[in-house]
Amino acid sequence: MAQKSRATTMWEVAERAGVSQATVSLVLNNAPSNRVTDATRARVMATVHELGYRTNAFAKTLRSGESGIIGFISDEVASAPFAGKLLKGAQLLAWQNGHVILSVDTYNTAELEAAAIDMMLSYRVQGVVYATMYHRVVDLPLALRDVPTVVVNARDRAGLVSSVFPDEELGGYTATRTLIEAGHRRIAMINIQSPESDLPAGIGRLAGYRRALAEAGIDEDPSQLRFGTGVVEDGLELTADLMGQANRPTAIFCGNDRTAWGAYRALETLGLRAPTDCSIIGFDNQETIAPFLDPGLTTMELPYERMARRAVEILLNEADQKPSQNPIECSLISRGSVASAKVPA
């Protein structure tokens, strides 16, 4: 059985470098001191690397009250195929600023969430990113009221902490405006939720669609609006319904990429094709779908990494400021599913 290697001590570093333990401590903590010359600092650090010395992070936390750790608590973000970019964005910016991320997915389990928060607090995290897989309004756990927290891909209902979220309305506006600029005037929309739903994504994207039409002087036609649930089957059924009308649309804004996938399938079933017979634009830029449709889907990309980076910026630099609302612009990803309208509507 292999023996466990013994950790090098600060005393051994000091002895090898020919300095006191206090000097080693000053160097490792980057503390200003007239006692330590540049040459001594260099000799101590060379010895640290030579011996493979590691500082006791937990002991350092107890002394300073700062751990250098940022907590990341989410429902299913870390395990989601595309929302995981939230965690990536947080990790990259945290690392650039000398911090690390401690991440837990709670899978919407109250007991696991409570345990995760307790763990974060015991590690004395400098702040917490509280993230959700889809854009919604959340009630922040009471236990997080005592630690700097930023809500990401969601909005804090009480407005007690800063929230960072996609600018859904601007995204819907940009998507619809893209179709208008291609010459389309009979533009349908298949939303991803019912009119009664209070989820911000569908509300914002529909508002953006309506704003773009109004700005272009296009009267909204109720016959061109459909409400689904964001699944492929809805895109298939509702697109077939739209294309069966006498005044069928020349373009469709789909509220997400899965709906757009269903729209492609519906056109194919009808002997039609995007964008030759109907332009299609989606929302999400889901990497497992959008690039692989034929033609590739033009869509709005949710700004996961930028949202997470903004959240970490707030925790590191603006934690003592008033809570703020931070909408982040979605980017247009142009592929091949939008073409110029053949004839004016």
Preceding omega of 166 cis (within 30 degrees of 0): no
Q: Which residues contact 97 (CB under 8 A, 6 or more apart)?
A: 312, 316
Q: What is the pLDDT of residue 272?
A: 97
Q: d(Cα 86, Cα 167) in Å, to the nearest integer?
A: 16
Rounded percentage of the chain residues whose pLDDT exceeds 70: 89
Q: pLDDT tens digit string along 123-141?
A: 888 899 999 988 999 999 9
Q: d(Cα 125, Cα 149) in Å, to the nearest integer?
A: 10
Residue 61, pLDDT above cutoff 50: no
Q: What is the mean pLDDT of residues 108-131?
A: 88
Which amino acid would we find at residue 104? Answer: V
- Helix axis angle for 257-269 and 232-243, nearest 10°, is 50
Q: How sure is the predictor about 274, in pLDDT bands with cuts at 50, 70 and 90?
A: very high
Q: What mean pLDDT value characterizes the chain?
A: 89
Residue pointed to by tokens 């407005």: 159
Q: How sure is the predictor about 66, in pLDDT bands with cuts at 50, 70 and 90?
A: low
Q: d(Cα 106, Cα 118) in Å, to the nearest integer?
A: 13
Q: How sure is the predictor about 69, in pLDDT bands with cuts at 50, 70 and 90?
A: confident
Q: Is 2 exposed, middle or buried (0-12, 13-18, 19+ CB in 10 A)?
A: exposed
Residue 79, pLDDT above cutoff 70: no
Q: What is the pLDDT of residue 4?
A: 47
Q: d(Cα 315, Cα 190) in Å, to the nearest integer?
A: 37
Q: How sure is the predictor about 92, in pLDDT bands with cuts at 50, 70 and 90?
A: confident
Give SS3 for 301: strand
Give the least confident one: 17-21, 67-71, 226-230, 276-280.
67-71
Q: What is the mean pLDDT of residues 107-133?
A: 88
Bridge partner residues of 181 (DSSP) = none
Q: pLDDT tens digit string along 198-240?
A: 999 999 999 999 999 999 999 999 999 999 999 999 999 999 9
Q: What is the mean pLDDT of residues 72-99?
A: 79
Task: Give the side-chain half-sphere CA count within 13 A for 49.
Answer: 5
Q: pLDDT tens digit string along 24-49?
A: 877 776 666 667 888 888 898 898 88
Q: What is the pLDDT of residue 55?
A: 60
Q: What are phi and psi of 14, to 5 degrees?
A: -65, -45
Q: pLDDT tens digit string along 325-337?
A: 999 999 999 999 9
Rounded-to-5 percentages of helix, strand, coil across the chain: 40, 20, 40
Give SS3 for 92: helix
Q: How sure is the predictor about 304, in pLDDT bands with cuts at 50, 70 and 90?
A: very high
Q: d(Cα 271, Cα 196) in Å, to the nearest integer?
A: 34
Give SS3 for 74: strand
Domains in the chain, please, with CATH? 10-55 (1.10.260.40), 69-166+304-329 (3.40.50.2300), 168-302 (3.40.50.2300)
